[in-house]
Amino acid sequence: MTRLALILPADPGPDPAHSPDMTGAYLESLQILDRLHRLMLDLVKDEFERLGQDDLTPVQGLLLYNLGGAEVSAGELRSRGMYQGSNVSYNLKKLVQMGYVHHARCDLDRRSVRVRLSDRGAGVRDTVARLFARHADGLRMSGVLEDPPLPQVNLQWRRVERYWADQIRYIY
């Protein structure tokens, strides 16, 4: 998977319309988010390796985790998990072939395929859930999630998410 790296400019230059401190902090946040996402994938990969689960990629494991107990279309999964279209289709096809996901044509719209976890897929979902629960407990015990409180941080990120979504809608 090819990833783009964000690089902070050495000097954003004097632009009175933009606060250099806020621009720098924003760009640093983007870098941190990118690194956190890659680290999360590495953590899932390491957990799979530790358990001898070598047939899945971390992205496929997260897809199973995000599918959870629901039965959804690929489009719904894409919008819920923010996966790229071809990536979801490819990974779902692989997960069906490996027996982690069941799929069936929708009764109402025969063009649409509904997917849900098999028992094997539910086992992977539970593995990833336990991994995340262990990490949440470790972070809670260390006090990392207290200053600022994680719910406050999440509120801020939801605001950024809404702003970005509005920007995308504005473009089109």
Residue 153 lies in a domain: no
**Strands of 113-117's sheet in order across:** 72-73, 113-117, 101-105
- CATH number of the domain to which 124 belongs: 1.10.10.10
Question: pTM value?
Answer: 0.79
For the chain, list residues with pLDDT below 50.
1-2, 16
Residue 49 lies in a domain: yes
Span 60-72, pLDDT tens digits: 999 999 898 888 8
Number of domains in the chain: 1
Whole-angstrom distance, CA of residue 135 vs CA of residue 139: 6
pLDDT the model gives residue 2: 46
pLDDT the model gives residue 30: 93
Residue 102 lies in a domain: yes
pLDDT the model gives residue 6: 55
Query: Could you tell me the CA-to-CA distances from 99 to 44, 115, 143, 170 in Å, in that order?
Result: 20, 12, 40, 41
User: Hey, what amino acid is at 83?
Assistant: Y
Residue 97 lies in a domain: yes
pLDDT the model gives residue 48: 97
pLDDT the model gives residue 1: 46
Helical axes 119-142 vs 20-50, angle rounded to 10°: 130
Question: Which structural domain, as residue segments, surrounds residue 47?
Answer: 20-144
Residue 161 lies in a domain: no
Residue 160 lies in a domain: no
Positions of E strands within the chain? 72-73, 101-105, 113-117
